[in-house]
């Protein structure tokens, strides 16, 4: 126990700063650059966000828009469909002792590396000093705060809120995430990273980000509204999920991870039930990239320590390098929890809780990996869980191999109706 505690403290000291609500760490910095008012761009953008751990506080209510480099030619009709080129992104990670004033230009623009966000929208610009970014004017077909009505608050946390809003003219629902920036600089770095990942991600299995704005000390983000809430919400109502439905859910999550790992070179690092959102159409989407790591190369290895502890892989708890397979461990733990209705690691004493946080971490590292009870589940499901939660990441299967696993293929021909399943259970967030 003492060794685990010492290891944990050593890991935390190696970070530049810590975030209390998500236990994530990073730093933020800003390079001074003159900026003209920015415009916003239409079209779908993927965005990760967990309503269960949305930030607390009342913030300026602004909508959000995403803009790419002015060198990319687009027309409004193409942007409506979410098509077009996506620029390469860069993210600066300087020291953590930079004051918040360094993040703002004289024009009131929030800036980090090549990310610019102000009241007119979000934009990625080149750092090439030989090119001066041209002025971008707002488009007529874009979302604006004046065009939406607030229905209710659907999430709160320590830095802002998430609201359910409805477009006045189309009746479409959105989730409006408002984040105050009078918070730790490390969290501001998190926000900048989230926006960049959203700008570069387009996948039907990742929550869509439509627009983003910075104004009056707050960044606001218009997200796809997932009216079923999170998988964690769903589990509270059903307790456990039968194998056929779980296979259909798992297949969508795997497709999202395949996209993140092999197309975007992103490790999610915080995969858990509350970061998997569902809706009445039977869709399951990955959200909350606040702790995601965008890899500069395709090596797939990281040595930083962020994420939610319960679902962390052993190599991450030990402070070792980790790669895409750390998300596979988390997937296995999530699927086993959904199947059994309880977290796979039980405290030493029945009926009692974990005596300390370090005791849980020690159990994940030292105990044999959890398994699905063979008397309750099919051999295929037991095999799938085993393929995900091997202690050595080299022994875990990749997303591509797992997509062909018998557990998933045996239920494909059944044409499981997740839409009917989710809708029948109902949701406190439902608009249907």
- Three-state secondary structure call for residue 320: coil
Tens digit of each residue's pLDDT (9 = 90 or more) over 245-259: 999 999 999 999 999
Which of 117-126, 181-190, 198-207 has the least mean pLDDT?
Answer: 117-126
Which of 243-252, 302-311, 369-378 has the least mean pLDDT?
Answer: 302-311
Tens digit of each residue's pLDDT (9 = 90 or more) over 273-308: 988 999 999 999 998 765 444 444 344 555 444 446
Q: List all residues 6 or more positions away from 402 whose beta carbon is below 8 Å from its beta carbon.
A: 254, 328, 384, 387, 388, 408
Q: What is the CATH T-level fold of the domain 229-431, as seen in this structure?
A: Transferase(Phosphotransferase); domain 1 (1.10.510)
Tell me what pLDDT residue 223 has: 83
Cα–Cα distance, 313 to 311 (Å, whole number) = 7
Tell me what pLDDT residue 73 has: 38
For residues 332 and 148, which has the higher predicted lDDT (pLDDT)?
332
Cα–Cα distance, 152 to 154 (Å, whole number) = 6
Residue 318 CB-density burial (10 A; 0-12 exposed, 13-18 middle, 19+ buried): middle
Which residue has tokens 């959105």?
Answer: 174
* 101-225 classified as CATH 3.20.20.60: no
Tell me what pLDDT residue 93 has: 36
**Average pLDDT estimate for 381-399:** 98
- Band of pLDDT at residue 124, cut at 50, 70 and 90: low
Closest CA to 224 of 273, 175, 284, 152: 175
- Three-state secondary structure call for residue 356: coil
Cα–Cα distance, 228 to 221 (Å, whole number) = 19
Question: Can 101-225 and 229-431 be said to share one CATH topology?
Answer: no
Q: In the annotation, is 270 catalytic?
A: yes
Beta bridge partners of 122: 66, 117
For residues 262 and 270, is the Cβ–Cβ distance under 8 A?
A: no
- Ranges of each domain in the chain: 101-225, 229-431
Using the predicted structure, report yes or no on whether residue 56 has a pLDDT greater than 50.
Answer: no
Which helix (H) or strand (E) covers residue 161, if one does? strand 160-167
For residues 236 and 12, which has the higher predicted lDDT (pLDDT)?
236
C-alpha gyration radius of the chain? 21
Exactly one of 112, 270, 288, 327 is catalytic; name it: 270
Closest CA to 194 of 54, 322, 369: 54
- Band of pLDDT at residue 145, cut at 50, 70 and 90: confident
Using the predicted structure, report yes or no on whether residue 29 has a pLDDT greater than 60.
Answer: no
For residues 388 and 331, is the Cβ–Cβ distance under 8 A?
A: yes
Closest CA to 147 of 170, 164, 163: 170
Tell me what pLDDT residue 178 has: 85
Using the predicted structure, report yes or no on whether residue 381 has a pLDDT greater than 80.
Answer: yes
For residues 292 and 174, which has the higher predicted lDDT (pLDDT)?
174
Tell me what pLDDT residue 146 has: 79
| Dihedral angle computed from the Cα positions of residues 322, 327, 330 and 334, in that order, rounded to the nearest 10 degrees | 180
Cα–Cα distance, 132 to 49 (Å, whole number) = 33
111 is in an annotated binding site: no
Long-range Cβ contact pairs of 124-129 (< 8 A, separation 24 or more) = 124/67, 124/68, 124/69, 124/87, 124/89, 124/196, 124/199, 125/69, 125/70, 126/69, 126/71, 126/87, 127/90
Cα–Cα distance, 365 to 69 (Å, whole number) = 45
């Amino acid at each position: 126990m003492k060794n685990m505690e010492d290891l944990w403290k050593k890991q935390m000291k190696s970070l530049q700063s810590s975030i209390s609500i998500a236990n994530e760490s990073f730093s933020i910095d800003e390079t001074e650059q003159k900026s003209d008012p920015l415009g916003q761009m239409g079209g779908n953008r993927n965005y990760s966000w967990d309503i269960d751990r949305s930030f607390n506080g009342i913030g300026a209510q602004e909508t959000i828009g995403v803009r790419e480099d002015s060198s990319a030619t687009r027309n409004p009709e193409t942007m409506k469909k979410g098509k077009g080129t996506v620029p390469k992104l860069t993210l600066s990670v300087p020291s953590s002792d930079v004051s918040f004033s360094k993040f703002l230009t004289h024009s009131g623009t929030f800036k980090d590396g090549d990310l610019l966000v102000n009241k007119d929208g979000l934009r990625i610009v080149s750092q090439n000093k030989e090119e001066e970014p041209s002025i971008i004017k707002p488009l007529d077909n874009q979302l604006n705060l004046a065009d939406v009505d607030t229905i209710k608050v659907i999430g709160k946390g320590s830095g802002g809120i998430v609201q359910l809003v409805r477009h006045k003219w189309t009746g479409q629902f959105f989730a409006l995430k408002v984040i105050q920036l009078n918070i730790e600089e490390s969290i501001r770095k998190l926000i900048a990273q989230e926006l960049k990942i959203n700008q570069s991600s387009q996948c039907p299995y990742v929550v869509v980000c439509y627009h983003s704005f910075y104004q009056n000390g707050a960044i606001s983000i218009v997200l796809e509204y997932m009216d079923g809430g999170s998988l964690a919400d769903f589990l509270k109502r059903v307790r456990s999920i039968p194998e056929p439905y779980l296979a259909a859910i798992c297949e969508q999550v795997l497709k999202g991870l395949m996209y993140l790992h092999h197309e975007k070179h992103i490790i999610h690092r915080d995969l858990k039930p509350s970061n998997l959102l569902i809706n009445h159409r039977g869709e399951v989407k990955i959200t909350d990239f606040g702790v995601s790591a965008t890899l500069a190369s395709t090596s797939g290895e990281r040595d930083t320590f962020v994420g939610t502890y319960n679902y962390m892989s052993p190599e991450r708890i030990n402070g070792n390098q980790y790669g895409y397979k750390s998300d596979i461990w988390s997937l296995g733990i999530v699927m086993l929890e959904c199947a059994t209705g309880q977290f796979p690691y039980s405290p030493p004493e029945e009926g009692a809780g974990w005596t300390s946080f370090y005791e849980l971490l020690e159990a994940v590292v030292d105990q044999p990996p959890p398994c699905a009870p063979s008397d309750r589940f099919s051999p295929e499901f037991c095999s799938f869980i085993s393929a995900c939660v091997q202690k050595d990441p080299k022994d875990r299967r990749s997303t591509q191999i797992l997509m062909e696993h018998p557990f998933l293929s045996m239920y494909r021909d059944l044409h499981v109706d997740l839409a009917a399943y989710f809708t029948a259970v109902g949701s406190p967030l439902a608009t249907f």
